[in-house]
């Protein structure tokens, strides 16, 4: 059931995140295919288990995500998905083979990590690409998910990918023209993502560098109406992280995340019994509200909060809604 508008969030709820904390444990988990996944655990070792599922794909986990959880009540686990962050091999290296980096591999990695840490089940928290991975994991292993808190909801349908890399060009025609010019001459608009995926596998480092810069410039344009002061969301990342994220994004999106079109909406019945909080900005130009609304309609235990003054990156009202949901699920 939807709650429309940021004003639906109780203004008495805290606007500030929890204080910074450091991991009490961390490690590198062997997940097969030559991959090692970085993980860390924070908060209370005896607290409610929760897994942070980062976005991108390929952004890596960061310390800010730890601060959404009450460290007295949660055992918070974070991990870097294959090929990014501190996981190895790193996708910024052109020699790193991405064949064994798919949605299904990441789902298996999450299960392996859960077993490694001796966790029976856990709450899942994430947004953007992280929401796609949360939904895919929860539908594959519903008995392992106690609750879900999802912001900036996406399901990585091909229609969603087409909007982000073609449809949104109607709002930013000059930036989209530059993005299209970065692809080989004659590339059809519908083939841009696949064309960039091929460029990012080029043996020529100059070709890869130009493709990475063009991709980041387009992504930054889509977020330009909501980006605040500081580094740009994509092009402001360190070069190594930027190269890995763009290469992984293009790899995943050119394959439709290895999901059937509409799979995560059609299979939402598998989520029955899992309480969830969905939080989405009405002015999210990267992931339009339609997807969150459709998911809310087919997931009875989900509650959608629409933040009227937020976009994909969120804002104070988004933060309050996520904090309230996580505090509410802490028990």
Task: Kindly list the catalytic residues.
Answer: 128, 284, 312
Report the SS3 class of residue 48: strand
Write the DSSP string, 116-138. Answer: HTT-S-EEEEEEEHHHHHHHHHH
According to DSSP, residue 143 is labeled G
Helix%, strand%, coil% for the chain, nearest 5: 40, 20, 40
Which residues, in sequence order, are bridge partners of residue 75?
43, 49
Q: SS3 string of 244-268?
A: HHHHHHHHHHHCHHHCCCCHHHHCH
Residue 228 CA to chain centroid, in angstroms? 20
Token reading at 245: 């994220």
Residue 175 CA to chain centroid, in angstroms? 23
User: What is the distance between the alpha carbons of residues 151 and 161, in angstroms, rounded to a whole number?
Assistant: 18
> Whose CA is closest to 257, among 131, 151, 85, 113?
131
Strands 48-53 and 25-32, sheet pairing: unpaired
Phi first, then psi, for residue 33 (nearest 5°) are 60, 20
């Amino acid at each position: 059931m939807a709650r429309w508008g940021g004003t639906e969030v109780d203004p008495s709820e805290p606007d500030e995140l929890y204080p910074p904390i450091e991991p009490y444990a961390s490690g590198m988990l062997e997940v097969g295919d030559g991959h090692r996944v970085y993980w860390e655990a924070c908060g209370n070792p005896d607290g409610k288990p929760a897994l942070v599922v980062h976005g991108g794909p390929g952004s890596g986990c960061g310390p800010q995500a730890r601060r959404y959880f009450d460290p007295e009540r949660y055992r918070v686990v974070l991990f870097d998905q294959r090929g990014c962050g501190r996981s190895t091999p790193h996708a910024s290296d052109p020699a790193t083979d991405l064949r064994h980096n798919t949605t299904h591999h990441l789902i298996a990695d999450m299960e392996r990590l859960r077993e490694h840490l001796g966790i029976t089940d856990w709450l899942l928290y994430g947004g953007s690409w992280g929401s796609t991975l949360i939904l895919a994991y929860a539908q594959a292993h519903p008995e392992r998910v106690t609750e879900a808190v999802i912001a900036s909801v996406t399901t990585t349908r091909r229609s969603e990918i087409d909007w982000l890399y073609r449809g949104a060009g109607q709002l930013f025609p000059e930036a989209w023209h530059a993005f299209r010019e970065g692809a080989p001459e004659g590339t059809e608009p519908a083939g841009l993502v696949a064309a960039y995926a091929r460029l990012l596998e080029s043996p020529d480092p100059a070709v890869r560098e130009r493709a990475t810069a063009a991709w980041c410039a387009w992504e930054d344009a889509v977020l330009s109406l909501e980006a605040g002061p500081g580094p740009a969301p994509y092009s402001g990342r360190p070069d190594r992280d930027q190269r890995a994220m763009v290469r992984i994004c293009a790899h995943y999106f050119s394959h439709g995340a290895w999901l059937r079109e509409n799979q995560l909406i059609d299979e939402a019945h598998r989520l029955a019994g899992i309480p969830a909080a969905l939080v989405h900005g009405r002015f999210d130009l990267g992931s339009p509200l339609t997807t969150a609304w459709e998911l809310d309609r087919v997931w009875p235990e989900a509650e959608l909060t629409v933040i009227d003054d937020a976009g994909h990156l969120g804002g104070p009202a988004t933060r309050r809604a996520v904090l309230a949901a996580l505090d509410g699920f802490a028990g």
